[in-house]
Amino acid sequence: MLNDNDTVVAGLGECRVDSPLKIRRFIDEGERVIVDVEYGRVDTSFRDRGAAPSFENAGPRRKIFFEPSATKAAIVTCGGLCPGLNNVIRALVMELFYQYGVRTVYGVRYGYEGLIPSYGHGFLELHPDTVDEIHAKGGTMLGSSRGDQSVSGMVDTLEKNDISMLFTVGGDGTLRGAKDLCEEIARRGLKIAVVGIPKTIDNDISFVDRTFGFETAVAEATKVLVSAHEEARGARNGIGLVRVMGRDSGFIAAYTALASNVVNYVLLPEVPFRLRGEGGLLDHLQRRLVAKRHAVILVAEGAGQEYFEGEKARDASGNVKHGDIGVLLRDEITAHFKKLDFHVNLKYIDPSYIIRSIPASPDDAVYCIMLAQNAVHGAMAGKTGMLVGRWNNYFTFIPLHLAVQKRKKVEPDGYLWSIVKGATGQPDFA
């Protein structure tokens, strides 16, 4: 349960500057979006407390904190590549330049490394001409990186360059870094807004309906699954084994299974499965091949980690390095059927790095623009330590501490997983 303080977005001070936006509809400060729209819980909350937890409604404010002509903005993209990064960069620049009249926008090179002078990356000066066509390309024109950097050193750079607002575009690790930046900025008493934009194809940011890049990833992964299905059907006892991203959350695998409608087995990080023995995956796969002569298996990268022994190393972002479940399954399936002298034809496909580096789909491209514009509205109003997201079909401002509290995951007893099992017909491999 959330309390009222959990959803409060910090501000840098009183907004006294008239917005330069020539629009009819501004968002009043009291406009909010209820977090939980289930009637029974909302009714109980109002009866018990006289209110229900709610997020601040995103959008343009009539009064803003920063004087546009004196404002300098910076944009940083961090972590792995994701469809839509360039769309967000372009939309931020266009909104700042044309709508608010901010003429100085810096692109931070190679993630948070670009805020540490010793790396020598420097800034890129961004304006509408430099970002005009980047939305048609994958990747990020600014470059990216992983890993912790000195928070104090990064704030020194922001202060030295008179940066008024920093837009941090990234996933869980990036947003944790943004939260640390906010705390150091507040400790120094600086007037710098830090606003996050949720980027991850894993769709694992809490209190955000959907992160940008996720829809594109599902669309592209679906094409791969269709091909894997044809490969499996085209061979005697053919097996299409596809591994997709999803380190701790299996949303890509779950949605791709539903979208493709050709998957027989879906393996997620949230749902343990038994590999060997009667009723295990290998046993069920054998019976499937006898009956149907082909099968398609879709596995998220974080699934089945219980089959890897030993101490786990961590990557530059502090995340546990998972064992390669795709390779393990490939080898286990091959060995199992070889031991039985049972002919199979297995095709293993891992499209992860291809999917995350492509341009955004039309739906994601539109979503990126909406997220970016609302991020600018919030930053210009002096809001900080927050993330722009969409919740219950409204764009909202979400405090960073809430967004990074825990990862959003597929619930093993939830509605989505029940739909996946119903669509695939797979049993519980418990």
| Tokens (6 digits) for 370 | 């909406």
DSSP bridge pairs for 345: 238
pLDDT at 345: 97
pLDDT at 378: 98
Same CATH fold assignment for domains 4-211+360-403 and 217-357: yes
C-alpha dihedral over 17, 371, 387, 405, to 10 degrees?
170
pLDDT in tens, 343-354: 999 999 999 999
pLDDT at 135: 96
Q: Residue 201 and residue 256: Cα distance in Å, rounded?
A: 12
Within 8 A by CB and 6+ apart from 31, the residues are: 56, 57, 59
Q: Is the pTM of this model over 0.85?
A: yes
Farthest CA pair distance, the chain: 78
Q: Residue 262 and residue 296: Cα distance in Å, rounded?
A: 7
DSSP bridge pairs for 387: 196, 398
Domain 217-357 top-level CATH class: alpha beta
Inter-CA distances, 165 with 12, 97, 107, 191, 371, Å: 11, 14, 12, 9, 16
pLDDT at 311: 65
Q: Residue 58 and residue 60: Cα distance in Å, rounded?
A: 7
Low-confidence ranges of the chain (pLDDT < 70): 1, 311-319, 430
The DSSP bridge pattern shows strands 10-11 and 54-57 to be unpaired
pLDDT in tens, 231-279: 999 999 999 999 999 999 999 999 999 999 999 999 999 999 999 999 9
What positions carry a catalytic annotation? 202
Domain ranges of the chain: 4-211+360-403, 217-357
Inter-CA distances, 414 with 198, 202, 203, 271, 409, Å: 24, 18, 16, 11, 10
Closest CA to 420 of 240, 307, 300: 300
Inter-CA distances, 186 with 127, 194, 268, 381, Å: 29, 11, 40, 17
Domain 4-211+360-403 top-level CATH class: alpha beta
Q: Residue 10 and residue 386: Cα distance in Å, rounded?
A: 8
